[in-house]
Structure 1
Amino acid sequence: MNSGFTDVLLLLALAVVLVWGFRRVRLPAILAYLAAGLIAGPYITGWIADPNEYHFVAELGVVLLLFSLGLEFSLPKMIAMRKLVFGLGAGQVVICTILFALLAVLLLDDWAAAFVVGGIVALSSTAVVIKQLAESGQLTTKKGQVTVSVLLFQDLAVVPMLIIIPLLAATNDISIWESLGLALLKGAGVVILLMAIGKWVLPHIFKEIARLRTDELFVLATLLVALVAGGLTHLFGLSMALGAFLAGMMLGESKYKHQLEADIRPFRDILMGLFFITVGMQLNLDVFLRNMHWVILAMLVIGVVKFFIIRGLAGLMGERREDSWAAGLMLFQMGEFGFVLVSLALTYQLLPPDFASLLVGIGVFGMALTPVIIQRNNAIVKKLLNWRGKKAEDLPKEAIPTPEKPSRVLILGFGRVGQTVSRFLRAEDIDYLAIDHDPRRVQEAQAGGANVFFGDAGRRDILKAVYADKAALIIISFAEDDRAIAVLKSVRSLNERAEIIVRSRDDMKLSVMMDEGATQVVPDTLEASLMLVSQVLRRSAIPIRRILSQLDKARREHYGDMHGFYPGETTDMDPEKIDRLTFLHAVALPEQAFAVGKKPRELELDDIKVKIKSVRRNDEELTEIDDDFTFAEDDVVLLAGSPRAVEEGESYLLNG
C-alpha cells in the first residue's frame, strides 16, 4: 500500500477519534485537530515527517475559511454597531498589538517579528466564543453584543495582517511604507475588479446554475469562485485568503448566500481541520514541555492585559461595569486566526520555529479554558465586583444551558413542528421548555425569546438536566423516525409515568413507537402539527371549545400564525424555493440604529415585505405593535419574511 495513502488514512482515523473525544468533553474541535497533528507530526510518532507535504491542501482550508468569513460579513451590522466596533474593537486591537509587540521585541530583538506576534495575540477566537455564547443563551445580551463588536473588528483586522506579513518579509530596497502603499493600490484594483465581476457576471452564472437544479454544479461553481478570487489576488502579489474574503463579501449580498454557506461548509471544515493538523505538526513538543511554565505565564499575562484593556475602553464608552468585565473575561484567549497568522509567518520565516511552538501552545491552553470561562463568567464577574466593593445585585441572572426547575411541557426537538407547538403553548400561557442540538437554531430562537436550550436529547445526562424524569407531558418532534425512537427509549427509561406524544413522518414505524412507550403518535405536515397541538392543549386542561376554536382559526387564516420558523444549519437553502419560505429572525437595536426613536408607520416595512411579529424589551415580549409604538435602544425586534426580505429588513432597521 502506498505510504502516502497510509499516512492520510491514519491521520483521518486519529482525527475522527480525537474530535469525538474532545466533543464528548465539550472542547472545541480545533484542539482535537491540533492534538492529531502533534501526535502524527515529526516530534512524537513521526508518521508525517514533513508537514510541508500537506501545505497546499491546508492553504485551501484557509482560503475557504476566509471565503466563509466574507459570506458572513455583515456591513449593515458593523455600521449600526460602529461605536463599539470602531471604538472598542479598534482600540483593543491597536493597543494590544502595540503592547504585545513591545513585550515581544524584548524576546526576539526583531521589530518585524514582534509586530507579527503582537497582531497574533491581540486576536481572540470568534468561532469558540460565539458558539459558547449561543449555547449559553448570552449572545443577545448586552455583554454578548459588546463581545461580538470586538470580534467583528478583530475579524476585519485579519485582512490587513494578511497583506502586511508578506511585506515585512520582503528583503528588497523598497521601504515598508512604499510596499504597503503599492499593496493598497493593488488591493484596490482587485476589489474593483472583483466587485465588477460580482455585480455583472456572477448573478447570471448562478441564476443559470440554480435553474438546472444540479447540486454538484453549484458546489463546483462555489469552489471555483473562491479559488479564482484567491488566485487573482495571489497574481497581484497578495494573499490568496484576501481574495477569497473579498469574493465572500461580494457573494454575501446575493440571494444565493445561504446556499453558498451550506455548500462550502463541508469542504471548509475538512480542509480547515487539515490546516490545524499541519499547525499541530509544527508544535515542537520538547520545546513546549521545557517551557510549559512560560506558556502558562504568557497565557495569563495576555489574558490579564486584554481583560483590563477591554474593561477600560468599554468603561470609557459608557458600558456597564458588569458588561465590561464580562466582555474582557470572555476575550482573553488567542484565536483560530492567530494560528493562521502563525502559519503564514512561519512560511515567510518571520518567526523562529521554537517561538511559533510556544504561541501555538498559548493558543491551545486559552481555547481549552474558554468554554469553562464563558459558562461561569457571571459568577466570576460577581466575585470581582464584590471584591472591589461594588454592588452586584443588578447583575443579570447567569444564562446556563439548563433550566432551574421542571416545566409543564418538555419539547424535544425545536424544528418547525416543535416551534409550532411552542407558539400555541405560549398563546395559552402554558409553561414549556425545549431542547435542540442545532446551535444556530438555538441562538436564533433564544434571541427571539423562545425558552429553548442547546443539548442532545438522546443523552441521559441532558434529559436529567431538563427534568425529563419529572415531566408530566413530553413532546418528541424530530423529523427522523429512527432518532425519535432512540430518544423515546431514553426518555421512557427515565420516566415511566409521563405522557409522551411523538411526531412521525408516516405510519410505517407507528407500532414500534407505541411498543417503546409512546402515549400518542401523530403524523407529519401542518395538519399533523395542529393535531399535536390539540393533544398538548387537551392534556394541559384547556377547554375543548377553546382548542377547537384555535384550530379553526388557524385553518381559516391559512395557517398564518404557523408560517415562519427559525432557520438552522440543516434548513434546506435551495435557491429555487428559498424565497417561498418564511423565516423568523431577531434583530437587536443598538444605540445608533436607524429605527430607534421611530414609530412603525415611519419605517414603512411593508414595502420590504417583512412583518414585525413581536418586540422584546427588558425581557418582556410585546406582541401588539400599533402605530403609536416607539422603538427604543436595546429592543429585540422579531422579523418575519423571506430570507432576502428579512436581511433587507434588518439592514433597514439598523441603517435606514
Structure 2
Amino acid sequence: MHGFFVNVVLLMAVAVAMVWVFKRVNLPPILAYLVCGVLAGPDLMALFDHPEDIHVFAELGIVFLLFSLGLEFSLPKMLAMRHLVFGVGLGQTLMTGAVFCALAIVFGMSTNAALVIGGMAALSSTAIVIKQISEKGELNTPRAQMAISVLLFQDLAVVPMLILVPLLADDSHQSLSLAIAMALLKGVVVVGILLSAGKWLLPRLFSEVARTRTDELFVLTTILVALMAAGLTSSFGLSMALGAFLAGMMLGESQYRHQLEADIRPFRDILMGLFFITVGMRLDLSIVAQQWYWVLLGVAVLMVIKVLLIRMAAWLFRAPAQDAWAAGFKLCQMGEFSFVIAALAVNHALLTSTQASFLLSVGILSMAITPYLVDNSMRFASRLVRTPNPDIAPPKDMVPRGDVLQDHVLIFGYGRVGQSVSRLLKAEAIPYLAVDADPVRVQECRSAGQPVYFGDVSQKDILRAVGVERAKLALLTFDEHSKAKNVIETVANINPDLPIVVRTRKDYHLEELYLAGASQVVPEILEGSLMLVSQVLHLSGVPMSRILKRVRKERKGHYGNMHGFFPGETTEISYGTQDKLEFMHAVILTPDAFAVGRCLAELNLAGRRISLKGLRRDNAEIADPDPTESLRVGDVLVIAGKPRRVERVERFLLEGN
C-alpha cells in the first residue's frame, strides 16, 4: 500500500509538471496527460504493474464527460443549425468513416476492426477546437459555426459508436443485426425510464436540494445522479456513457444547468486527465520507434483526407468554399473520443495493443498540430480559394463607410437597450456605431439604414475597425458578466482613457465590473427602483433639486443605500446567486447575548464584511449610533451583507463564535 501511494504521488507530480509545461507552450492539457501516461508507462517509469486497476476509476471520467456533454446539448440549437449538423456533419462522418474503414480492410484488418478504425478517424477533438476558437473570439463567425455543427453531429454519433463497439466484439452466434435490435429495444426502455425520471423526479429533487443551500449536498446529488444513470444503462448491457449523456440532457434545460456543470467540472477534468494518462500508458514506445515513418505517414494521410472530405461534404450541401476549407483545417485531427473508442476496442479484443499504439501515436501527433492549424485555418483557406483573408482584412461591411468618425459613441450589443439608447443619441445628433453578434438583427438594422455592424467585440480587430481609439464613450448593453469583463479589459488595453458604461440587470457583479475598468455600471433593477423613488418623492412634494441631488449621491455611492433587502418565504434564491445577493436581517440582543455590554467598535462588524443599517432601542431608531456606547438587552441591530456572512455574524452577536 505504501508503494502504491508513493507511485500515485509521483504520477500526480509528473501530471502537474507536464500540464504546466504544455500550457507554457500553448498546447492543450489533453496532450500533457497523454505524455504523462507515456512517461509513467511500462517502457519508462513503470509506476504501475497493472494499469488496468486505475483504468476502472479513469472510466468515470468518461461518464462525467458525457454528462457534461448532455448538459451542453441543446435540442433547439441543433434544430436551428440542422442543415449544417445533419448535412455537412452527417456527410463528413459517414464519408470519413467509410473511407478509413475501406483503407483498413485494404491493409488486411478484419471488418469489425475496420469499423472501429473508421469510427475513430471520423471524430475530431471537440475540446481542443472549441477552446482554440473561443480564445480567438471567433465563435460567431460562419466558418466557426460550420466547424461547431460538424462537431455537434460527431458528439451525437459518439453515443451509438460506444454502444456498437461491445456488440462488434460479441462472441455469441446471434447476428449483429439482432444484437443491434436488442440494444435498441433496451435503449428505448432505458430512455423511457430516464426521461420519466427527468420529467417528474429530478426537478423536484434538485429544487429541494437547492433550498438547503448546502454546497456539499448539491455536488453529491449531481455525482449520484450521473452515476445512477450510468449504472442503469450498464445494468441493461449498454454503455455507461449513454446513461450519463441522457441524464445530462434531461438537466440541460433546467435552471440548475450551469451550476451542475460547474460542480461536475473538477471531478470530470481530474478523472478525464486520469483516463488520458491510462491511454498514454497503453502506448508502446518500441513500436513507435520502429514504425515512426508509418506514424508520420498516417498523420499526413489522416489530415489530408479529412480536409478533403469535409470540403466535399460542404460542397454537396452548397456551403461556402472558404468556410468549408477553414472548417476542414480545424477538424482534421483525431478526437478525444477516438481514444475512448480505442481503449474500449482493446478491452474487447477488437484491436491489438500494437494496432492501438499505432493509432494512438497518429492521434496524439494530429492533436499536437491542431492549435497551429486552428490559428491559421483561414489563411490557408483564403489561399486555396484565392480570396483575401478576413482575419487580416476586415470585411467591407465591418468598416464604416464615408468619413472616419471622431468622438462617436460605441454601442456593444444592439438589443432592446442598445436600440433605445441609439434613438435618443440620434435625436440629439450624437454620432454612434453599434456592434452586434446576431446576424439577423444586424441585417434588419442595416436594411433600415442604421450604422450597425456584425462582429464579436471581444476581438481587437473589430474594436479598431469601429474606431475605439477615436470614440468618446463605449456602452456595453449585453447582460453576460464574463464576456463583459473580457470586453472591458480589451477596450481598456486599446484606449485606457475611454469611459466605459456597462449595463447589467442586477447588482451582483458591480465591484468586479468596476475593478475590470468600467467607468459606470448601471444595474437595471436598482436604476428602475431609483427612478420609481424619484417619482414618489416628486409626487410627495419634495423639490426636484433635492431629488436630483439624492439620485446623484446614490449613483456616486454605487447605490449603497439600495443594497440589501429583507428576504421572505417567497424570495427566490438560486444556488448560483445565494452568495451574490445582499440580505438585511434584524438581530435582537437577548439577555445572554454575547454582544450585550460590548460596543460597536469592539464588535468590528465592518471587519466581518457586514454593514450596520440601523440600531433600534426602546422602539426608537438611533440614526447615528456612538461606536463606543455599550449595547443593551433588547437592542435591535439591523445588519446587511451576503446571506452566509449575515448568518455567521448573527451567531457571533448572540453566541460569540
TM-score, normalized by length of structure 1? 0.65
Match of 1:309 in 2: 309
Determine whether 1:396 maps to 2:393: no
Residue 150 to residue 399, structure 1, CA distance change in 2 (3 Å): farther
1:52-75: CA deviations, max 9, x gaps?
Answer: 121111010000000111111111
Contact 2:434 2:453 in 1 (8 A): no
Cα distance in 1 for residues equivalent to 2:307 and 2:519: 52
Q: How far did residue 316 of structure 1 move?
A: 2.1
Cα distance in 2 for residues equivalent to 1:379 and 1:211: 52
Match of 2:365 in 1: 365
Determine whether 1:40 maps to 2:37: no
Q: How does 1:22-171 map to 2 (within 5 A)?
A: 22-171=22-171
Q: How far did residue 28 of structure 1 move?
A: 0.7
SS at match of 2:107: helix
Residue 38 to residue 77, structure 1, CA distance change in 2 (3 Å): same
Contact 2:499 2:519 in 1 (8 A): no
Match of 1:198 in 2: 198
Match of 1:284 in 2: 284
1:549-597: CA deviations, max 9, x gaps?
Answer: 9x98x97xx99xxxxxxxxxxxxx944749x99xxxxxxxxxxxxxxxx
Residue 279 to residue 521, structure 1, CA distance change in 2 (3 Å): closer
SS at match of 1:201: helix
Q: How does 1:370-385 map to 2 (within 5 A)?
A: 370-385=370-385
Q: How does 1:118-517 map to 2 (within 5 A)?
A: 118-386=118-386, 392-393=387-388, 396-398=390-392, 452-453=457-458
Amino acid at match of 1:292: W
Cα distance in 2 for residues equivalent to 1:132 and 1:430: 32
Cα distance in 1 for residues equivalent to 2:125 and 2:291: 24
Match of 2:593 in 1: none
Q: How does 1:523-562 map to 2 (within 5 A)?
A: none
1:524-564: CA deviations, max 9, x gaps?
Answer: 9959x99xxxxxxxxxxxxxxxxx99x98x97xx99xxxxx
Q: How far did residue 79 of structure 1 move?
A: 1.4
Contact 1:255 1:575 in 2 (8 A): no
Q: How far did residue 116 of structure 1 move?
A: 0.3
Comparing 365-374 and 178-187, the one that deviates more: 365-374
Q: How far did residue 138 of structure 1 move?
A: 2.3
Residue 524 to residue 185, structure 1, CA distance change in 2 (3 Å): same
Amino acid at match of 2:203: P
Contact 2:140 2:456 in 1 (8 A): no
Residue 354 to residue 146, structure 1, CA distance change in 2 (3 Å): same
Comparing 163-172 and 72-81, the one that deviates more: 72-81
Cα distance in 2 for residues equivalent to 1:523 and 1:237: 58
Amino acid at match of 2:21: G
Match of 1:11 in 2: 11
Contact 1:104 1:117 in 2 (8 A): yes
Root-mean-square deviation over aligned CA pairs: 4.9
Contact 2:68 2:248 in 1 (8 A): yes
Amino acid at match of 1:247: A
Contact 2:85 2:153 in 1 (8 A): yes
Residue 88 to residue 19, structure 1, CA distance change in 2 (3 Å): same
Contact 1:14 1:36 in 2 (8 A): yes
Q: Percent identity?
A: 48
Contact 1:408 1:432 in 2 (8 A): no
Amino acid at match of 2:347: T
Residue 282 to residue 474, structure 1, CA distance change in 2 (3 Å): farther
Q: How far did residue 499 of structure 1 move?
A: 9.8
Cα distance in 1 for residues equivalent to 2:242 and 2:38: 28
Residue 398 to residue 120, structure 1, CA distance change in 2 (3 Å): farther
Contact 2:137 2:456 in 1 (8 A): no
Question: Runs (4+) of structure 1 moved beyond 6 Å?
Answer: 423-433, 470-475, 497-501, 520-525
Q: How far did residue 521 of structure 1 move?
A: 11
Cα distance in 2 for residues equivalent to 1:521 and 1:65: 36
Contact 1:432 1:451 in 2 (8 A): no
Q: How far did residue 107 of structure 1 move?
A: 3.0
Amino acid at match of 1:378: M
1:353-399: CA deviations, max 9, x gaps?
Answer: 0111111111111111111111111211122223xxxxx14x53349
Q: How far did residue 253 of structure 1 move?
A: 2.2
Q: How far did residue 265 of structure 1 move?
A: 0.8
Amino acid at match of 1:121: A
Amino acid at match of 1:147: A
Cα distance in 1 for residues equivalent to 2:330 and 2:203: 40
Amino acid at match of 1:396: P
Cα distance in 1 for residues equivalent to 2:168 and 2:174: 11
Residue 232 to residue 25, structure 1, CA distance change in 2 (3 Å): same
SS at match of 1:71: helix
Match of 1:535 in 2: none
Q: How does 1:638-653 map to 2 (within 5 A)?
A: none
Match of 2:584 in 1: none
Cα distance in 2 for residues equivalent to 1:2 and 1:114: 43
Amino acid at match of 2:109: D
Amino acid at match of 1:351: L
Structure 1 unaligned regions, length at least 5: 387-391, 434-446, 456-464, 531-547, 560-572, 582-656
1:465-506: CA deviations, max 9, x gaps?
Answer: 99xxx999999x9x99xx99xx9xxx99x99x98999x9x99
Residue 499 to residue 89, structure 1, CA distance change in 2 (3 Å): closer
Contact 2:259 2:576 in 1 (8 A): no
1:14-33: CA deviations, max 9, x gaps?
Answer: 11111111112111110001
1:339-363: CA deviations, max 9, x gaps?
Answer: 1111111111111101111111111
TM-score, normalized by length of structure 2? 0.65
1:131-182: CA deviations, max 9, x gaps?
Answer: 1112223221111111111111110000101111001111011111111100
Cα distance in 1 for residues equivalent to 2:393 and 2:10: 41
Residue 132 to residue 499, structure 1, CA distance change in 2 (3 Å): closer
Amino acid at match of 2:327: A
Cα distance in 1 for residues equivalent to 2:174 and 2:406: 72
Cα distance in 2 for residues equivalent to 1:408 and 1:39: 58
Contact 1:40 1:281 in 2 (8 A): yes
Cα distance in 1 for residues equivalent to 2:237 and 2:28: 34
Contact 2:169 2:350 in 1 (8 A): yes
- Max radius of gyration: which structure? 2
Contact 2:288 2:361 in 1 (8 A): yes
